[in-house]
Chain A
Amino acid sequence: QVQLVQSGAEVKKPGASVKVSCETSGYIFTTYGVSWVRQAPGQGLQWMGWISAYNGHTNYAQMFQGRVTMTTDTSTNMAYLELRSLRADDTAVYYCARHYGGNSGASLDYWGQGTLVTVSS
């Protein structure tokens, strides 16, 4: 069965970077992409961007441009999210999700369990 398993919770200081991993299994990794979505405490869902596991192409939400890097490792079927220059308002649960489709008409059909990133001095 399709599974996405994320790395554990992180506590970071303002200005630091965080890298969240997402281990996938149960499907052909390079046939899909991986989207990243975050959710601040008590708030709604915010899509951050996605990466094609087929060719590594990325599409980042503009508000994260310059601070975010999404990568994949096709040898281990892993996806990674790096967010730099962390601020207190980056405190959130970060989810990876399997991205089915291209840039338009996609759906996020299976999700990881989430990784809590806390940014605090």
Chain B
Amino acid sequence: DIQMTQSPSSLSASVGDRVTITCRASQTISNYLNWYQQKPGKAPKLLIYAASILHSGVPSRFNGSGSGTDFTLTISRLQTEDFAIYYCQQTYSTLYTFGQGTRLDIK
């Protein structure tokens, strides 16, 4: 199985800050990497697919990059509604796996 490791596991930031979350795959996954946002008690929402393509309706302050094994999700100018848990997911192998999640809290 391809292991996905996110860092940090948790992060505190303020409204207006720029934050970066990293996701590392245990083997190369090309650009088959998605990012999701989940708020408490809600279903996840797709933010970015194919490592860098913004899903419909997602604000442009979200940015994804990377290929191979190392990927990043950057949120510029944090808004109140961005405080949530973020998950990466690889769909390179036929067994899809998620990272363990990064909790983004208000400082």
Contacts and interface: CB of A to CB of B under 8 A. Distances in A.
Interface residues of B, number: 25
A44 B98 contact: yes
Contacts, number: 64
Tell me the interface secondary structure of chain B in the complex.
Answer: loop
Given A109-B55, A111-B43, A44 B89 contact: no
Interface string B21-63: 0000000001010101010000111100110000100000000
Contacts of B12: none
Instruction: Identify the 3 closest CB pairs spanning chains A and B, nearest first.
Output: A107-B49, A111-B43, A47-B96
Interface of A: 35, 37, 44-47, 59, 61-62, 95, 97, 100-101, 103-114
Interface of B: 30, 32, 34, 36, 38, 43-46, 49-50, 55, 87, 89, 91-101
